[in-house]
Amino acid sequence: MIKVLIVDDEKPICDLIDLNLSAAGYQCAAVQNGLDAITIIERDNFDLILLDVMLPGADGYDIMDYIRPMEIPVIFITAKHEVRDRVKGLKLGADDYIVKPFDIVELIARVEAVLRRYNKTERLLSVGDVVVDVEARRVMKGDRPIVLTNKEFGLLVLFMKNKNVALFRETLYEKVWEGEYFGDSRTLDLHVQRLRKKLKWEQQLVAVYKVGYRLEV
């Protein structure tokens, strides 16, 4: 399982990220102090670090200097939005930079993008008796193969990577259809209905009023 360290001095933010990344299948640890971050990095191995800049004990830039030889992927998460702060973080070796407040779906997408760059993504996704081989684009329900269209497969992967997260129709459409959403949800709704039927997920794949859909696990 992919292991992620969350370093942020605001516990509610740590808890929010932990909750959503854990639901997406990642194993998470969280600390609120820069020195505590260095200690846990020394004793454990992480595939990715989400790192705030403004921290007690040692700031994010100090931690980045310390871990650079370890070649651990890092995404800076901070309230700082000035260009010079982003440039400094990237020059120190950060792989990406996201500014608070952020959308949790965007954060998960950035996490996935960085992990792909380092070939650390999970090949298999599973929910109940449904298993998806992302690389082979193969879907199994128990011992039975499920045939999906490209769009249905894209929706399924997005739902499985964001378990228990309410996904907006705009997000689903723009990520799967790769185009701008103009408010007509008939195409999306039809694909979700077919996905429910094929996987027998009438109870798991639920509509969220005025939002979109959520895969309940």
Name the residue with higher pLDDT: 25 or 72.
Answer: 72
Report if pTM > 0.75.
no
Domain ranges for the chain, please list them. 3-117, 134-215
- pLDDT number for residue 192: 96
Q: In this structure, how many other beta carbons lie within 10 angstroms of the beta carbon of residue 70?
A: 12
- The pLDDT assigned to 141 comes to 94
β-bridge partners, 3: 27
Kindly provide the b/e burial profile for residues 153-182, where b requires at least 16 CB atoms within 10 angstroms of the residue's own CB: bbbbbbbbbbbebbbbbbbbbeebeeeeee
Rounded to an integer, what distance in angstroms lies between the CA atom of residue 175 and that of residue 43? 38
Q: Which of 150, 149, 176, 148 is nearest to 162 (CA)?
A: 176
102-152 pLDDT, tens digit per residue, is: 888 889 889 988 988 887 766 778 899 999 988 788 999 998 999 999 999
Q: Which numeric CATH code is attached to 134-215?
A: 1.10.10.10
pLDDT at 10 over 80: yes
Q: Give the number of other CB atoms < 10 A from CB of residue 33.
A: 14
Q: What is the mean pLDDT of residues 52-66?
A: 90
SS3 labels along 55-112: CCCCCHHHHHHHHHHHCCCEEEEECCCCHHHHHHHHHCCCCEEEECCCCHHHHHHHHH
Which one is the CATH code of 3-117: 3.30.300.30, 3.40.50.2300, 3.90.950.20, 3.30.960.10? Answer: 3.40.50.2300
pLDDT value at position 83?
73
Q: Which is more confidently placed, 91 or 213?
A: 213
Please report, rounded to a whole number, the percentage of residues in the chain having pLDDT higher than 70. 96
- Sign of the C-alpha dihedral computed for residues 155, 102, 3 and 30 taken in this order: negative
Nearest to 105 by CA among 51, 150, 166: 166
Task: With beta carbons less than 8 A apart as the criterion, state whether 215 and 172 touch.
Answer: no
